[in-house]
Structure 1
Amino acid sequence: MSLGHRGLRIWWRVRRPTTFGVKALLMHPDDPGKCLVVRHSYVDRDRWGLPGGGYDPKRESAGEAAIREVAEELALTIEEPPTVLRSLTTQLEGKVDNLTIVAARPTSADFRLNAELSEARWVAVDLTELPADAPISRWLKLALAD
């Protein structure tokens, strides 16, 4: 863990901020049996998870944030409003995190990674196409449990 991240954790414990985040379960536009999984380049680099990020609920909804994040991270377009799968609150790291997990279908399967992602791939929703020992994000598991 970096020194900067340790400092943030201490600040979160003192201030106890509230954050809002969204994760997007992207279903393949032509194959409903496949979803897009990603690995981030900046944190938890080995774990397969979902694209997404933070947002300000005063400026956009979780669905709007998911559409924006997917466009920024993967250059994919989502035209239909995302469906909320789950909304939950956690208090990890000394802050209150509100997370919304949505499902959406991009208009194309052709993605382009930005610097936040190190890898992305379309895989079967049962995740059997990933190595058996591959670490999987709990948010990805939760999204696929529905």
Structure 2
Amino acid sequence: MIPIPAYLLRAASPFAQLWWRIRKPTTFGVKALVRLPDDRFLVVRHSYADTRRWSLPGGGYKPSRETPAEAAAREIHEELDIALPAEAFTVLDTTVTTLEGKHDTLTILAATTSVAALRLSPEIAEARWISSLDDLGDAPVSRWLVRALD
């Protein structure tokens, strides 16, 4: 897959959000809480929307093509170049949300990796391994990140 430049992702984001509010599509997404053996976990800031907020890596998927665990493994590899098998992921929570104007079934999964080195895709503006949310100071964090840590 050819990566889309960050500036195009940023430009398209408002149009996608408007489209979701008008069409109210049914979508499926994953967020992945990835930890190192020392219990630090990975947080990211996306380059295309809500760029100040720290979140979990993840993205959309089609249930007819892959499971949530397979989607999480694919997203982690595409966004951060961490290769984990789908079997490494366990489901923490599944919820239905309409926060972005769409009807989204979101699955939060967790996995552990021994690979701390990251290679960021254009979708990711910044990524960090942190020990607690306090490491981010007063920066905003996503509700899904907080939920995954509960």
Question: Which band: TM-score by shorter chain?
Answer: 0.7 to 0.9
The CA RMSD over aligned residues, in Å, is: 1.8
Of 141, 144, 148, the residue aligned with 1:143 is 148
- Secondary structure of residue in 1 paired with 2:136: coil
**Match of residue 93 from structure 1:** 100
| Aligned residue pair count | 140
- Trace 1:53-132 onto structure 2 (pairs within 5 A): 53-79=59-85, 80-124=87-131, 126-131=132-137
Native 8 Å contact 1:24 1:50 kept in 2? yes
**1:38 pairs with 44, 50, 53, which one?**
44
Cα distance in 1 for partners of 2:128, 2:15 equals 33
The gaps in structure 1 that reach 5 residues or longer are none
Rounded to whole Å, the distance in 1 between the matches of 2:41 and 2:18 is 36
Give SS of 1:115's match.
coil
Following the alignment from structure 2 to structure 1, what is the Cα–Cα distance between the partners of residues 50 and 17?
A: 16
Q: Offset at 1:105?
A: 1.3
Cα shift at 1:107: 3.8
> C-alpha deviations, 1:72-118, integer Å up to 9, x for none?
00000113430100100012233201100000112411111111101
1:22 corresponds in structure 2 to: 30
1:50 corresponds to: 56
Stretches (4+) displaced over 2 A? 2-16
1:47 aligns to what SS in structure 2? coil
Give deviations 1:18-75, integer Å, cap 9, x for gaps: 00000000011x312x101111111111111100000000000000000000000000
**Separation in structure 2 between the aligned mates of residue 9 and residue 74 of structure 1, nearest angstrom:** 24
Structure 2 residue ranges without an equivalent (≥5): 1-9
Distance 1:97 1:123, change over 3 A: same
CA contact (8 A) 2:96 2:105 kept: yes
| In structure 1, distance between residues paired with 2:12 and 2:115 | 37
Greater share of helix = 2
TM-score, normalization: structure 2? 0.85
- Indicate how the Cα distance of structure 1 residues 11 and 75 shifts in structure 2: closer, same or farther if over 3 A, else same: closer
